[in-house]
Amino acid sequence: MVDNTVPVVNIQQILQQPGDVAVNTCAIVNTGAPKFRFVVTASAPQSHLKEWSLMSYWGDNQSKSVSSDNYSNQILRWPHLWAGISGLAVPPPGTSPWDATMARDRTSTHCAHSFVLDAWDRVINGWGYIHGVASYQKFITLMF
């Protein structure tokens, strides 16, 4: 039996910190701090998720990881299935929010950012993985 479902990915909200202030898609953010959390879903309906990753891209080939997780962090649990995450804030509350500020790169807080959520599943056909990456993007502009 083959699992023909692909991962479900969605960036539901971008929340500026402190205070979890919702930031709309394509918004220009120029007040407060360049610190954010993201409410995301990266899941596999049949619990065959391999990994997910949320990245920020901006400027001239610049990028910074927001958060990620993978199946190898889950395999010690029984059963050996992992559905991923659904509607979860990342980085999680209680940890530092994602900060757009990069040392020696003024564009990190003065440019449009593309936030890309990618997810891959573990479904194979005996030779390799069946599905490619599932992706979701949201854009905001930072002008601090």
pLDDT digits (tens, 9 = 90+) for 96-129: 999 999 999 999 999 999 999 999 999 888 888 8
Residue 2 lies in a domain: no
Q: How many domains does the chain have?
A: 1
Is 15 among the domain residues? yes
Residue 104 lies in a domain: yes
Instruction: Report whether pLDDT(9) > 70.
Output: yes
Residue 80 forms part of a structural domain: yes
Residue range 79-101, pLDDT digits in tens: 778 999 999 999 999 999 999 99
Range of the domain at 65: 8-143
What CATH number does residue 64 fall under?
Answer: 2.60.40
Per DSSP, the three-state class of 15 is strand
How far apart are alpha carbons 74 and 6 in whole angstroms?
19
Instruction: Report residue 76: phi and psi, to 5°.
Output: -75, -10
Asked whether residue 33 is domain-assigned, the answer is yes
